[in-house]
Amino acid sequence: MIYTVTFNPSLDYIGRLDLFKPGTINRLKYEKFLCGGKGINVSIVLKNLGIENTALGFLAGFTGKEIERQMNDIFHCSSDFIYLSEGNTRINMKIKADLETEINGQGPNITPVAITLLFDKLSKLQKNDFLILAGSIPNSLPNDIYEKILGQLYKKGINFIVDAEGNLLVNVLKYKPFLIKPNNHELSGIFKKDLTTPAELIKHARILQEKGARNILISRGGDGAILLTEHGQCIKCSAPKGKLINSVGAGDSMVAGFTAGYITTKNYETAFCTGIASGSASAFSENLATKEEVTNLMKQIKL
């Protein structure tokens, strides 16, 4: 079974207009509410690709109820969220105009009791299950929460996939995660230097591999991606051609596609291709990648 965890979900309010003018009234031409958060995005794309999974995390208030409604009624995803007694799940505003502007909410306070409930749910995972931890954490959580989760589950033989920045990622490498997915900017941030060329990215990613990561998927946006496998392979691929419409969720879709490809075939090259096609399919669409879109883009992919 596959589980995703989203510590700080959001209800994304997406608005479009031709020109955004700060300091005055702006009238939208398009608006939509979508459930969001990296783990939730992964769950939706996995389901779109025919892979059953369960979304875990924390919800609160009327915005939390809308996220759960969308997950169940629109995206047909299984979920087992923990409801907080106070506050509301955050609303993130994404204004798409001549420039993109984002205003992200803070989110509710996550109590120690709620954290204990999450650990109770995670304790039921079994050997060979996949656990995907993705995204940032709210201020109300300890900054070593990822490390504590992997530490508790490490001896159970669970496949960990971690998509996070900085110390959230680095501090879990000792638990030998199955996959980590830094993008080129996040990799540069970890090593505090500007890494731009494939050779530089590969050299520094191998350091993270030496620290414990089994497989490393480096996303490079429009420049494609690089995969370092636990078998010593280094595979590069350019991105498929298409018009960028919405970059939100593209990295999460890549994680979902890689996971779906690997679970289906146990082949890293196929997983890599499916990941790239899934990330690109989301980037080329208003919504997250569908199976049909991914299948069509797979025809363009050459390793």
301 alpha-carbon distance from chain centroid: 22
Amino acid at 22: P
Core vs surface per residue 168-177: b (16+ CB within 10 A) or e: bbbbbbebeb
**Beta-strand pair 215-219/225-228:** antiparallel
Q: 82 with 118: CB under 8 angstroms?
A: yes
| Among 12, 129, 163, 252, the one annotated catalytic | 252
80 tagged catalytic: no
Contacts 24+ apart (CB under 8 A), 63-71: 63/11, 63/88, 63/89, 63/90, 63/91, 64/9, 64/88, 64/89, 66/11, 66/33, 66/35, 67/9, 67/11, 67/35, 67/40, 70/34, 70/35, 71/35, 71/40, 71/43, 71/44
Residues that are catalytic:
252
